[in-house]
Amino acid sequence: MPRRNDIHNILIIGSGPIVIGQACEFDYSGTQACRVLKSEGYRVVLANSNPATIMTDPDFADRTYIEPLTPEILAKIIEREKPDAVLPTLGGQTGLNLAMALYEQGLVGVPGTPELIGANAEAIATAEDRDKFKQAMIEIGLNVPRSGIAHDMDEAHRVLTEIGLPVIIRPAYILGGRGTGIANTVEEFEKIARDGLDASPIREILIETSIVGWKEYELEVMRDRADNCVIICSIENFDPMGVHTGDSITVAPAQTLSDVEYQRMRDAALACIRRVGVETGGSNVQFALNPANGEMVVIEMNPRVSRSSALASKATGFPIAKIAAKLAVGYTLDEIPNDITKMTPASFEPTIDYVVTKIPRWAFEKLPGTSGILGTQMQSVGEAMAIGRTFPESLQKGLRSLEQGRLGLNCDAGEALYLKYDNDALLKKAAIPTPDRIFEVGEALRRGISVESVHDATKIDPWFLDQMQMIIDERQQLEGRSLETWSRSEMKRAKRLGFSDGQLAYIAGTDEDTVRRQRESLGIVPTYKTVDTCSAEFAAETPYHYSTYEDENEVRPSSRPRVIILGSGPNRIGQGIEFDYCCVHASFSLRDAGYETVMVNCNPETVSTDYDTSDRLYFEPLTREDVLNVIAAETHAAGGVPPKVIVSLGGQTPLKLSGLIDPALIAGTSPHSIDVAEDREKWNQLCEQLSIPQPPGGTAVTVSEAQTIASRVGFPVLVRPSYVLGGRAMQIVHDQDALARAMQQMATDGSLGKEGGLSAERPVLIDRFLEDATEVDVDAIRDATGEVLIGGVMEHVEEAGVHSGDSASAIPPQTLPTWVVEVIKAYTTSIANALDVRGLINVQYAVLGTTVYVIEANPRASRTVPFVAKATGVPLAKVASRVMLGATLAELRHEGLLTDPVEGGHVSVKEAVMPFNRFPEVDTALGPEMRSTGEVMGIDRTFGKAFVKSQTAAGTVLPTEGMVFLSLNDGDKPAGLVVVQRLRELGLGVAATTGTAEYLAKFDQPVDLVVGKLSEIENTSLDNAVDLVAQKRISFVVNTPHGRGSREDGEAIRKAANTHRIPAVTTVEAALAAVMGLWEQRNTEIEVRSLQEYHGR
């Protein structure tokens, strides 16, 4: 069945901001879909609120709407663009939920409206509605865990009586397992069931028998409209049932299933997709298997492309999203060629001759108060994938890919953390799933605790444990002997088990370089194999490589000039999709300019690790050893000519490697300049030379040094470690005691401690904190001739002190006088020249009164590059990558790549999206440590309207009726007065704490309700804010934290708002912007407009 000619115009729904459970895998799938549908000649309309995505680049669709993803906005887009069809299965749970909402409003999927392609409403409902799904599975003879549905607590208790404890509770229509939990006691049941009902948009939960400890599997299925079905990949979870798949270490292909069991599972998966009725595209089906008797139950099914589909695509080389898009427009699997072999069709099942291990990465260190225990609700913020020929090799590569200071499965300085536990305590710890469990299991095995005992404690399959034991055995074979005594075969065996040179150095008591030299002298160097979907049965055209230690290297020679682009590794808070955007853009633009581009990355969610993005892809950890190996392989392939290496587009990950790579190879700004910007002393000197003011400060390694600096510059001070991104461990402290605590924490606790703590090379930076300053971010590009292009000047909505990644910001600046913006541009040019920047530079400023202070400069791509590109229409990352390879801005202007920014007529607002709804125990107040997982963009004619859009897109519903609660610190009270005046004009009620109410009364603004302080509640008859929030008597909270002293009240209020999903802002600036926006928006319709229109294309 060929391409459908009855549809011409297709709307693709994206997945919005990066949140836990929905990350850049949907940018990968959406980008593939856009490319496929455009190349098939369809008109593509895209809706996505996330400016950091590659898919929202205006080249990928005919019309790109960076607008909030709500049914109302989508209805407007549909009205405007009149698509023939809507493709909802590539935008994650967001896309699916929006499609269902539109269907229920009769706007899609019914006669006379756009058709739903990929999956229809009936299929979506069957898969997503827990009860319908269960009935459907029983109907086709598959087992499901015993369960019942509840819509309120009475019903929940009735179900519990039928099933009995323990139970697992899952809310309907949610992603990433939000609100899911396991209850072993009635008390736990009460809490989880209640939270689950709140989490479900339809107030429905499924309560089912807990099968914690069973083995967990997932099959990726594809179906075309001729009913051909194939399994793309089988995935086995290392962590048994009880840990969300997104938080589990997972392995492909499945390792411990016999063919008899596997085929039974395959039959069940095919029956499932057919019964649910997913007409075309990809789905995944999850199974649990009782390890004692093989009893199999179906857990759930996603009728769409998912996080696992992205993993399966990268694991096999079979591009699920791309094929799903083709199937959605009518092709059948056998009509589509296998991209990799070119000769064979896509209607087959990939087979692989290596092992893929995916390991999640969490951010608990940024979320104080969280337990760090893994469960049925996903908490990880990113993941790394590694490919090896065996499980031990891929596991160790995966662990070092996480970039958390660990070199593999222990055998590094980090393992000392487990020494303090005796065997019993260690096993007890390992029994509880946490991010550290894998290392605890490794340590237990090292101590000689048997595989059986570890299995009993953890339920991890003995095969996996024995494979880990092989790593331990090898270590013990080598330990205590000097490096020179290790035989060639021992060294080779260790490398084949995935040991990094760093681990071997630790075992041998020497350094990494010595191991590398010794290894190379024994002739042990990595070979690169190819991911080809077919285990080498057919020749592969696609150079998608991974390293291993074997006989044959498959990298093909080539003589074109080549550029290696180092990616950004697993997503984490502070380093996410924005950097992937930059790397991918660099690859595209350098490919267009005739370079052979080589991508190195280990994040399976990204567009950069699509084998289509670059000329070659190395799916490898971003460590010095692995990167040097790739450089060596590429040099060899080019007959000895070394490649250029780009280190400044992937965030801190590749930048950290810049000093470890031959400086002659580095494209763009020299490592020397990078060092000048990072090294505090050198940077201070530079600013002094340039006469650019800085907040006073200094560097310290010890507490007393820190206290001396603080006494000199005065409190409050901003304390932060050097060489980190995303403000990790950054704090504002107000007194000497707090400063001592902060220094102590950085030296010992958490991940910084794990990486070796503080040293002269890694000191703490201490600066005077400028209270009430306005923060400004600038992205610029400088070329070799010294021309500096100011890409964008962004004014932050929140005051300085809130991390720039967590702050809303606007282009163009909204409150700064023109001359201040000119000063900022002049400073930026001067700094870029002084650092001899070749490529991008990001400079941060704080404006206090009439003084512009420079906070820091980073000669690399920043998080805001994609936002600036979308706000101004200038493809900054593309331009910068060409400049890094020697092109001048003038040349690129002539070529047409660089155009003038589109200015005037619109305002763009970037807003951060926080993960707090998953962590009710965390204080939501914003601070200098970045905690947002993603961002959205609002774009409109005025700042107010754009700000409202940005809030809507971020999920903060601004109030149009009801009562707004204010609790402000003294400094914020004058601004609060303006907020209240506007709220009155909008007809909203106002509640405030006693202090705030008294202040407002002085200006003749009495409040409707005075609210008591929590601490004083015993002696008063006033309502307290926590109760008001819980009773939902308040529709919006404005709570600004107090600089010092008691913060408990505020924290309790913010937590309550978070728990009960009452929108809240924690800065008065955000409240002002919100009321301004609401005021401008009142009595008018929200308008939507595509990026192409804003850019005048």
Partner 1 sequence: MTTGISEIALVLEDGSIFEGEAIGHVPENGIAVGEVVFNTTLTGYQEVATDPSYAGQIITFTTSHIGNYGATVIDNESRRTFARGVIVRDLARRHSNWRSEMSLDDMLKKYQLPGIAGIDTRRLTRLLRDSGSLRGAFGTADQKSLLTAAQSDPGTSGIDLVSQVTTQEKYTYGDGRFSVVAYDFGIKSTILRCLSEIATVTVVPAHTTAAEVLAMSPDGVFLSNGPGDPEMVRDASTNIRQIVEAGVPTFGICLGHQLLSRAFGGHTFKLPFGHHGGNHPVRNLRTGAVEITSQNHNFCVDPDSLSDVAEITHLNLNDNTNEGMKLKKYRAFSVQYHPEAGPGPHDSRYLFAEFAELMETR
Go through 964-978 and write b for each residue having 16 or more CB atoms within 10 A of its CB, e for each that does not.
Answer: bbbbbbeebbebbbe
Report if residue 873 touches partner 1, rule: CB under 8 A. Answer: no
Segment 424-432 long-range contacts (CB within 8 Å, at least 24 positions apart): 427/453, 427/454, 427/457, 428/457, 430/454, 430/457, 430/458, 431/457, 431/458, 432/373
CB of 445 to partner 1, least distance (A): 12
Task: Give yes or no for a contact between 1029 and 1050, defined as CB atoms under 8 angstroms apart.
Answer: no
Which of residues 366 and 529 has its CB atom nearest to partner 1 in the complex?
529
From residue 469 to residue 508, the character string flagging contacts with partner 1 as x (rule: CB under 8 A) and all else as - is -x--xx--x-----------x---x---x-----------
Candidates 154, 187, 551, 1018: give the one binding partner 1 (CB under 8 A).
551
Report if residue 256 touches partner 1, rule: CB under 8 A. Answer: yes
CB of 459 to partner 1, least distance (A): 12
CB of 311 to partner 1, least distance (A): 17
Report if residue 273 touches partner 1, rule: CB under 8 A. Answer: no
Which of residues 348 and 723 has its CB atom nearest to partner 1 in the complex?
348
Report if residue 351 touches partner 1, rule: CB under 8 A. Answer: yes
Candidate segments 252-260, 403-411, 801-809, 810-818, binder of partner 1 by CB under 8 A: 252-260
Q: How crowded is residue 559: how many other Cβ atoms within 10 Å of its Cβ?
A: 10
Report if residue 347 touches partner 1, rule: CB under 8 A. Answer: yes
| Cα Rg of the chain, angstroms | 28
Report if residue 260 touches partner 1, rule: CB under 8 A. Answer: yes
CB of 89 to partner 1, least distance (A): 22
Report if residue 534 touches partner 1, rule: CB under 8 A. Answer: yes
Report phi then psi at 518, rounded to 5: -65, -45
CB of 139 to partner 1, least distance (A): 20
Q: How crowded is residue 8: how many other Cβ atoms within 10 Å of its Cβ?
A: 12
Candidate segments 3-11, 458-466, 509-517, 711-719, binder of partner 1 by CB under 8 A: 458-466
Report if residue 227 touches partner 1, rule: CB under 8 A. Answer: yes
Candidate segments 238-246, 421-429, 550-558, 883-891, binder of partner 1 by CB under 8 A: 550-558
Check whether the bond before 716 is cis (ω within 30° of 0): yes
Which of residues 313 and 347 has its CB atom nearest to partner 1 in the complex?
347
Candidates 230, 407, 427, 966: give the one binding partner 1 (CB under 8 A).
230
In 3D space, the residue among 14, 91, 43 whose CA is nearest the CA of residue 1092 turns out to be 43
Q: Which amino acid is at 962?
A: G
Which of residues 178 and 397 has its CB atom nearest to partner 1 in the complex?
397
Which of residues 488 and 1044 has its CB atom nearest to partner 1 in the complex?
488
Report if residue 664 touches partner 1, rule: CB under 8 A. Answer: no
Q: Which amino acid is at 649?
A: L
Spatial CB neighbours of 517, under 8 Å, sequence gap ≥ 6: none
Which of residues 293 and 1083 has its CB atom nearest to partner 1 in the complex?
293
Report if residue 259 touches partner 1, rule: CB under 8 A. Answer: yes
CB of 192 to partner 1, least distance (A): 31
Which of residues 466 and 1023 has its CB atom nearest to partner 1 in the complex?
466
CB of 293 to partner 1, least distance (A): 6
Candidates 190, 466, 612, 891: give the one binding partner 1 (CB under 8 A).
466
Tokens 């296998």 — which residue? 338
- Beginning with the edge strand found earlier in the chain, give each strand of the sheet holding 382-388 in spatial order: 296-302, 281-289, 215-223, 229-237, 250-252, 355-361, 382-388
Report if residue 293 touches partner 1, rule: CB under 8 A. Answer: yes
Report if residue 736 touches partner 1, rule: CB under 8 A. Answer: no
Exposed, middle or buried by CB within 10 Å (0-12, 13-18, 19+), for 662? exposed
**Chain-centre distance for alpha carbon 827:** 33
Report if residue 845 touches partner 1, rule: CB under 8 A. Answer: no
Q: How crowded is residue 291: how many other Cβ atoms within 10 Å of its Cβ?
A: 16
Report if residue 391 touches partner 1, rule: CB under 8 A. Answer: yes
Candidate segments 177-185, 368-376, 546-554, 607-615, binder of partner 1 by CB under 8 A: 546-554
Report if residue 541 touches partner 1, rule: CB under 8 A. Answer: no
Distance CA 931, CA 929 (A): 6
Report phi then psi at 319, rounded to 5: -80, 90
Which of residues 240 and 955 has its CB atom nearest to partner 1 in the complex?
240
Which of residues 455 and 949 has its CB atom nearest to partner 1 in the complex?
455
Report if residue 850 touches partner 1, rule: CB under 8 A. Answer: no
Report if residue 334 touches partner 1, rule: CB under 8 A. Answer: yes
Report if residue 255 touches partner 1, rule: CB under 8 A. Answer: yes
Q: How crowded is residue 745: how many other Cβ atoms within 10 Å of its Cβ?
A: 15
State both tokens at 351.
Answer: 């087979």
Go through 568-595 and write b for each residue having 16 or more CB atoms within 10 A of its CB, e for each that does not.
Answer: bbbbbbbbbbbbbbbbbbbbbbbeebeb
Distance CA 950, CA 961 (A): 19
State both tokens at 345.
Answer: 């069709």
Report if residue 263 touches partner 1, rule: CB under 8 A. Answer: yes
Identify the three-state secondary structure at position 559.
coil
Q: How crowded is residue 605: how many other Cβ atoms within 10 Å of its Cβ?
A: 28
Candidates 173, 331, 354, 619: give the one binding partner 1 (CB under 8 A).
354
Binding site for partner 1 (CB under 8 A): 226-228, 230, 234, 253-263, 266-267, 291-294, 332-334, 343-345, 347-355, 389-391, 451, 461-463, 466, 470, 473-474, 477, 489, 493, 497, 529, 534-539, 550-552, 554
